[in-house]
Amino acid sequence: MFQPVFISFSLFAFDGDFPHGAGWYVGFTRLIMALFGLLAWCSLCQWIDDDQRELEIADGPMWNMIALGTGALGGLLLFMAPWFWFIWFLLMMAMAVEAKLYANLHNSMIRDTSLHLLTPTHFKRLGEKYLRLNFSPGQGVRGRNIPVMFVGKRGGAHNSDSAKFLSKAEESVGYQLALELIWNAISMRVTDIHLEPTKDETMVRFRIDGMMKAQEPMERRIGDSVLNILKVVAELDITEKRKPQDGSFQARILNPDKPKSGGRLCDFRVATSGSVAGEKMVLRILDQSKAISSLDDLGLRPKIRDQIRVIVGAPHGLFLVCGPTGAGKSTTLYASLHEIDRFTKNVITLENPVEYAISNTTQIEVNAKSGKTFAGELRSVLRQDPDVIYIGEIRDKETAEIACQAAQTGHMVFSTIHSNDAVSALARLIELGVDPSVVSNSLSGVLGQRLVRKLCPKCKEKYTPSQEALKKLNFPADRIKFLCRAAGEGKEDAENACENCGGSGYRGRTGVYELFVITDKIREMIESKAKPNIQQITQEAIKEGMTLLFTDGLRQVIAGDTSINEITRVCK
């Protein structure tokens, strides 16, 4: 029978007396306990490292060193000292204390108490998950286990009043419905959430693929509670119901299939305004995971994509993107910025507000209420040696003139402007008061765009169009055998509606574009008159190869990506 002993590094250092058995055998029980301690230590180190990276804890490296140092020291003592069980017990206690101290730091940065670690609630949750125990057979709203967690402003910080309010409200029905509202919106690919009060109800509407879709309304009392919760998270004044307010917050969207993954952060912009029936709120969802980072992802025709790359890669000039609100102008310019080598160039953006973070870029948020206007900030930016400047929007004469002057003095300027089509953007600049000669010398190109819904790939149906319809669209009747249309349009409430698109017949959106490139001939036409003839310039641009929005949309109709009704609706 083997007599358990300790393996000591000191055995190899001197020949003194040391307790051991015949043959220097290792005790099986102690070996198992030593391996258990090693695995527990590795798991603790891995958990601390992953968690501190996710929460962006400033003292994270210090906690890593403490975890590594505690285990390494304990391991040495375990194999060198003759008091195995005493050292093993101390090592387990040290790891438990370390885990508890770090859990306290973790809990201080997480607002949702149901997600706190090493608490009675946490141990109950572990028992229910792994031991099939039932601690709360009559659980209420907290039992929904909605995979959303409010983290407040960027960085997870709340003011003290907001923190007290939320800590009391976390058990309320309104708090849980607010979480459920966010989760439903994320699951349904919603871009905007509208909470609209009426006399007895709060209407809930989602904007999905650019179209408004009504959801189940809430009682007015419950709706007001949800609205107050969201105002507190965004740090707005809940006592002010009439004046408009703007704010923002972040929420952590967890993955129900991978609860340990930590999920992802999603930004929300909040805007409120008073109405006759009460306070209305609109939330804009800015999901970083869905941000487009390349021109290849925009659905551009290869010719237009190559032309845009030439324009944005030039050392100087003014590149404008135009279209109505919600046409994806900012997304296109973000993708254009990704085409620039931001390691070798100084890129500065002026935005209101900053929607998506871009690496190696200085992003400045414009706020007119605090005196930070586009024109004022643009003057300051020009003194910071920029190579590329992105202006969120040109909306006044001063900003337009400074942008054109910057383009003429060796800077590449990106911006957006509101106009119906690409050539009209030229007229819009002149209407703002910019001299036509300045516009012609600074402007490099204008991209007009719209977003159209794509047909659902699972339920779209083919049909043979009539010859008259093909002639109206200038389609070659002898070459077009069939087109595609939405099969489930107008059948959202049908029991057999397609699950992939919710019965709308469409899922996702893509862009249709027209690129107006400023050539030498067009520059002459702009400078020849005090008020250029937009119609003649449009005809000249078409001669030089510009494809109109509607024509570009028909290309996607032929490809089966969208329908004639959708193109007609968007590109009227």
Q: Which residues contact 288 (CB under 8 A, 6 or more apart)?
A: 264, 265, 266, 267, 356, 357
Question: 236: domain CATH number?
Answer: 3.30.450.90
Over residues 140-178, the pLDDT tens digits come to 344 457 888 888 765 445 555 556 666 666 767 788 899
366: three-class secondary structure by DSSP:
coil
Residue 292, token pair as written in the block: 């487009």
Residue 551, token pair as written in the block: 């024509």
Whether residue 363 is found in the same domain as residue 419: yes
In a domain? residue 390? yes
| Residue 56's pLDDT band (cuts 50, 70, 90) | low
Torsion of CA 184, 187, 189, 191, to 10 degrees: 40
Over residues 28-54, the pLDDT tens digits come to 676 777 777 777 777 777 777 777 666
Whether residue 223 is found in the same domain as residue 370: no
Q: Which residues contact 172 (CB under 8 A, 6 or more apart)?
A: 141, 225, 229
In a domain? residue 321? yes
Whether residue 411 is found in the same domain as residue 447: yes
| Residue 431: pLDDT over 70 | yes
Whether residue 517 is found in the same domain as residue 372: yes
pLDDT at res. 464 = 86
Range of the domain at 29: 9-108
In a domain? residue 256? yes
| Residue 102: pLDDT over 60 | yes
Q: Give the C-alpha separation, 391 to 355, whole Å.
A: 13
Judge contact between 207 and 191, C-beta under 8 A.
yes
Q: Which of residues 255, 287, 319 is at a domain's end?
A: 287
Whether residue 271 is found in the same domain as residue 386: no
Total domain count, the chain = 3
Over residues 174-213, the pLDDT tens digits come to 888 999 999 999 989 999 999 999 988 999 999 999 999 9
Whether residue 150 is found in the same domain as residue 67: no
Q: Which residues contact 173 (CB under 8 A, 6 or more apart)?
A: 141, 222, 225
Q: If residue 363 lies in a helix (H) or strand (E), which one and from where to where?
A: strand 362-365
| Residue 132: pLDDT over 80 | no
Whether residue 413 is found in the same domain as residue 519: yes
In a domain? residue 553? no
In whole angstroms, how far apart are CA 181 and each of 174, 186, 385, 420?
Answer: 10, 9, 45, 35
Q: Which of residues 233, 261, 287 is at a domain's end?
A: 287
Question: 446: domain CATH number?
Answer: 3.40.50.300
Whether residue 369 is found in the same domain as residue 271: no
Give me the amino acid identity at 527: E
In a domain? residue 558? no
Q: Give the C-alpha separation, 311 to 313, whole Å.
A: 5
Whether residue 535 is found in the same domain as residue 406: yes
Q: If residue 412 lies in a helix (H) or strand (E), which one and from where to where?
A: strand 412-417
Q: Which of residues 253, 287, 321 is at a domain's end?
A: 287
Buried residues in 73-97 as b, exposed as e (16+ CB within 10 A): ebbebbeeeeebeebbeebbeebee
- Strand 412-417's sheet: what is its strand order? 362-365, 347-351, 388-391, 412-417, 317-322, 443-455, 506-517
Whether residue 259 is found in the same domain as residue 276: yes
Over residues 496-527, the pLDDT tens digits come to 678 888 788 899 899 999 999 999 999 999 88
Whether residue 35 is found in the same domain as residue 170: no
526: three-class secondary structure by DSSP:
helix
| Residue 310: pLDDT over 90 | yes
In a domain? residue 494? no
Q: pTM of the full predicted structure? A: 0.70
| Residue 14: pLDDT over 70 | no
Whether residue 305 is found in the same domain as residue 247: no
* DSSP per-residue string spanning 69-138: HHHHHHHHHHHHSS-HHHHHHHHHHHHHHHHHHHHHHHHHT---GGG-SSSHHHHHHHHHHHS---S-TT
Q: Give the C-alpha separation, 190 to 213, whole Å.
A: 10
Which phi-psi region, left, alpha or beta, contains residue 545 (left: φ > 0; alpha: ψ -120 to 50)? left
The three-point CA angle 371-372-377 to 5° equals 140
Judge contact between 452 and 562, C-beta under 8 A.
yes
